[in-house]
Every structure is written in C-alpha cells, then in structure tokens.
Amino acid sequence: MGVTGKYFFSPGQIVTEQYPENRKTLKMAERFKGEVIMPHDENNQHRCTGCGICELNCPNGSIEIISTRIETPEGKKVRIIDKHIYHLSMCTFCGLCIKTCPSDSLAWGQEFEHAVFDRSKLTKVLNQPGSSIIKGIE
C-alpha cells in the first residue's frame, strides 16, 4: 500500500502519452522505422539507379521496380527507374533494402500513421513524378 499511496499523492509521476493531442510536438527517434522513403533533393532528383538489389533482398516482395533502358546523349545505354513501387502493406520493416542499397537511395521515413480506408493507398510509388537521377551515381 505504501508504494501505490506514494504514487497516488505524487501526480508528477504520470507517464501517459497524450497521443492525439501531442501530435504537433511528438518527435520520433531519428532512426524510427516508419516507412521506406526515397529522399529527393531540391531539383527533384533521387539517387536510385534501378539496379533492383532492394527488390532481390526484400523478403516479402514489397518492392517492385519498373525500369526502362534509355540511351544517354553520350551513347551509353543506362537503366533508369520508371516506377519504384513499395507495398507498405507487405513490408515487415526489416531494413534490408535500405542496408543493401548500393547508392543509398532509400531511407526510413518518420511517418507512422499508416491507417487508411483503402488498401490500394498502401501501395506507394517512391520516386516522385518527373524526378530524375542525380548525375554521377552509377
């Protein structure tokens, strides 16, 4: 009774997270695994070469890469991604895609409120429309 009494009379100990109210101030840990994102810089450019290693390493098939081969002005044939599709609904957040990506094009996002009414909304295209690859990444 002593322990419970002590906590009853010391309201400073309350540890409840006031979740929906503190949405503004809630700060997740910097390594928090919310979802897989592909960071784009200010020129709408990403680092993904479309090599498909993430697709190979994903244990659940959450990643699909649709890529096309184009010819650069220098005459080299390179592969660029058309769509980097990420099925959030199948992802188990193991982090293998991010770890194995040779060009560090993927990262963890901090978003964690993934509840949606339609399952198709969980299938995301990670590269933004019209984006291109940063020059010099092989």
Task: Give me the residues that bind other proteins (CB under 8 A), please.
Answer: 1-5, 7-8, 11, 13-16, 18, 28-33, 57, 59, 92-96, 99-100, 108
Residue 79, Cβ density class (10 Å: 0-12 exposed, 13-18 middle, ≥19 buried): middle
Residue with token string 């010819």: 71
Q: Which is nearer to other proteins, 29 or 115 (CB)?
A: 29
- Strand 77-87 versus strand 45-46 pairing type: unpaired
Radius of gyration of the chain (CA): 21
What's the min distance (Å) between Cβ of 23 and other proteins? Answer: 15
Q: State the minimum distance, in angstroms, from the CB of residue 99 to other proteins.
A: 6
In terms of CB distance, is 5 or 73 closer to other proteins? 5
